[in-house]
Chains A and B, each alone.
Chain A
Amino acid sequence: MRLYVDSTKCSGCNACRVACSLNLFSENNPKKSALVIEPHFPSPGVYTVKVCTQCGDCAAVCPTEAIKQDEQGAYYVDFAECNLCEACVPECPEGVMFVRAELANTAWKCDLCGDCVTVCGTSALWIAEKEPVAV
């Protein structure tokens, strides 16, 4: 399973990012979320959303094996085992592997909790099998 996004449906509201921080850290702070929304205004007037594809590249390079896989196949950071080395960050093809030492004492990423999908009003986000059937 992984998170998918249709950026054309995103209205840039950031509810997903607040929901994400509440689940990941039990904190109300979208700067500590695992999604990225890039606004492109005033022209061309679109949003680009980056989400984790659960490719596992981050886990492959983690020297402390802090990035683990759960039963649904989602890679998550075991906060207790992260040493903030940042090796994972440049490996992420989507730019959604985060280390911001001023904000958290651990790296973080999407653990596929689904709260972002729950609150997304425009249904820009959804969770499906990793290899989606063409629609």
Chain B
Amino acid sequence: MNGYGGKILRVNLSTGTLTKESTPADLARDFIGGRGFGIYFLLKEVPKGADPLGPENKLFISSGPISGMLIPGGGKCDWTTKAPLTGGYASASMGGHFTAEMKYAGLDSIILEGISPKPVYLFIDNDKVELRDASDLWGKNTFAVEKQFKQKLGEEYQIAVIGPGGENLVSYACINHDYGRQAGRGGVGAVMGSKKVKAIVIHGTKSVPVADVETYRKAGQALYKACKEAEAWKQWTSYGTTQVVSWCDEVGALPTRNFSAGTFEGAKTLSGPYMREHIVITDKGCFACPSPCGKYSRMKKYNSNVEGPEYETIGLCGSNLGIADIESVAQANLLCDDLGIDTISAGNAIGWAMECYQKGIFTKKDTDGLDLKFGNVDAVFTLIKKIARREGLGALLSEGVKRASKKVGKGSEKFAIHVKGMEQSGYATHNATAMLLAYMTCDVGAHHNRAWAITYDIQVGRELVTPEKVKRVIWLQNFRPMFDVIGGCRLQWVELDIDRDLYVPAMEAITGIHRTWEDLEKVGERIWNLTRLYWARENEDFGRTWDLPAPRFYEDPPKTGATKGQITSLETVNKLLDIYYEQRGWSLDGLPTAATIESLGLKAVVA
């Protein structure tokens, strides 16, 4: 099948059985790849009510038709599962080189199912597939394991590995790859850990079949030329995502001290230019990326290196914890990566704990003696390690802020900053209604990448609540995640503003199938509705209340900064949902109606 590896590898860890199936042509036609495959498999293969960390849950790892190809950023890998963090849908997108290698090994998806009786790693070299003993790797940090494999097998091998966080089933454990790329959110690393899979090691030397090589070669090159000639290339590639730190600070979107404000007095030393000047040593790109956002940094103070920090980590492990020292943020980043926990959820959870301490809800008795003041770098480092090991306060925080605040009570739920149990990522949304709605309705919880609408808020008016604004959020939610379906990166379109229609002839030459972006957005809408139906299937009380943001954003205006005194009232929050549900064709409680399911042709999928 042109543009595809052609096979799906099924790994039954309980029995040790390894089987390959041909990738069904109708699956490729209807769901294309990546997270499209993921949600289809999740609905069809994981039974209702499955324990996310039990044998019935599965981990679906999928590439897409542009993965491994000469398309800018064609290196995105989707990891779909039932989320230990939220009990709903998880789809984590990982950059790097892993998904390209899957294609070269002839694989579109890898399905991990069951639970291994002992630690193993999955070894794939083209058609040779084996489960191998990983007893000697269990307990080791991610970088050491990756280095060990690379030294033994060579740099052509690509490695995805969990750390102690995943082994210890931290609810937001991540999966690490290429010394700094992660499948970060929702606890995909805990699912891999629950299955006792320490790593996946993959190497492939096969050529990916394409429909029309010469047209593809030219169309691919045209995309690279457009990226290189883009006006924004220099700025973007110099700083990557960190370019927005200063802007977010100016508009009051930089998460500060557990999202109590959106402006941070130390933002200058966290900014992209400051970081570039002081710690960045190399640009580190994902597969086939002409505009690498990855910044590889050297922390002299700690005698260490890390890929990053990127914007989200700066927000959550920097300003959100009251830390202005970029080297310390980078070191927190390194600790999280090496131990295998998500920097966003970890920073958010530690911020919540710091506020508990500030408010007297926690004393030193609750913090294992740590002086958990905002800005205490050493306490943050200690707590990251405790979370990964699930020790003391770390055990509580490893459950995520929704569960932790429910356990602690005393009003701490009010400043637990999450939606659906997923810690909010790096945008304070006290008064940014499109971004707030994007977080409220995001299909994995409070994550930004489905609809990065914060710039749109500033452009059209942050308080504005109109059908047009909601329509923009929905369009972004249908369109942007399609990059996670086709197996590539959205940032060339987002940041370099290249003409998205340049992808169309390239994808057609690769797959032999003509699809416009309007066609792809329709697939995006179908997937969005399926993820919603999945949440409802797994949670009996699922509905409107699940879409509410953290009370902080409608009750607790910042006392300082650009958004001082500003909130979005609960009435406005509900109005946003009313308009959103109507435009989506969902009920007043936020569930796709029978007519919507019918019109999107989804009846058979959810039957």
Please list the residues of chain A having a beta carbon within 8 angstroms of any beta carbon in chain B.
8-9, 11-15, 18-19, 21-23, 25-32, 38-39, 41-47, 100, 102-103, 115, 118-123
Contacts and interface: CB of A to CB of B under 8 A. Distances in A.
What 4 A-B pairs are tightest by C-beta distance, nearest first? A121-B290, A11-B285, A13-B285, A11-B292
Interface of B: 68-70, 72, 97, 100, 104, 143, 147, 155-156, 178-179, 205-208, 210, 213-214, 216-217, 220-221, 224-225, 227-228, 233, 237, 281-292, 294, 296, 298, 305-306
A14 B205 contact: no
B486 to A, nearest CB: 15
A29 B285 contact: no
B128 to A, nearest CB: 13
B209 to A, nearest CB: 8
A45 B213 contact: no
A21 B70 CA distance: 10
Given A121-B227, A121-B291, A122-B283, 15 more contacts: A8-B282, A15-B72, A19-B217, A22-B70, A23-B217, A28-B69, A30-B104, A38-B155, A44-B305, A100-B205, A118-B221, A118-B225, A121-B224, A121-B233, A121-B292
Nearest to A16: B288
A15 B147 contact: no
A13 B305 contact: no
B224 A118 contact: yes
Determine the main DSSP class of B at the interface with A: mixed
22 contacts: A11-B284, A11-B285, A12-B285, A13-B287, A13-B290, A19-B217, A22-B213, A22-B216, A22-B217, A28-B210, A30-B104, A31-B205, A38-B155, A42-B179, A47-B282, A118-B225, A119-B70, A119-B221, A121-B237, A122-B237, A122-B292, A123-B228
B288 A14 contact: yes
Contacts, number: 121
A41 B179 contact: yes
Nearest to A15: B288
A39 B228 CA distance: 23
Select the residue from B179, B220, B225, B294 with max chain A CB neighbours within 10 A: B220
Contact of A103 (B179, B205, B210, B291): B205
Given A29-B208, A119-B224, A121-B228, A14 B287 contact: yes
B68 A28 contact: yes
B567 to A, nearest CB: 42
Contacts of A119: 70, 220-221, 224, 290
B70 to A, nearest CB: 5
B207 A27 contact: yes
A31 B97 contact: no
B309 to A, nearest CB: 14
B147 A29 contact: no
Contacts of B292: 11, 13, 121-122
B305 A102 contact: no
A42 B297 CA distance: 10
A8 B213 CA distance: 32
Contacts of B227: 121
A12 B288 CA distance: 8
A45 B296 contact: yes
A18 B156 CA distance: 14
A15 B104 CA distance: 15
B68 A15 contact: no
A121 B289 CA distance: 7
A120 to B, nearest CB: 7
B551 to A, nearest CB: 41
Nearest to A27: B207
Select the residue from A14, A28, A42, A120 with max chain B CB neighbours within 10 A: A28
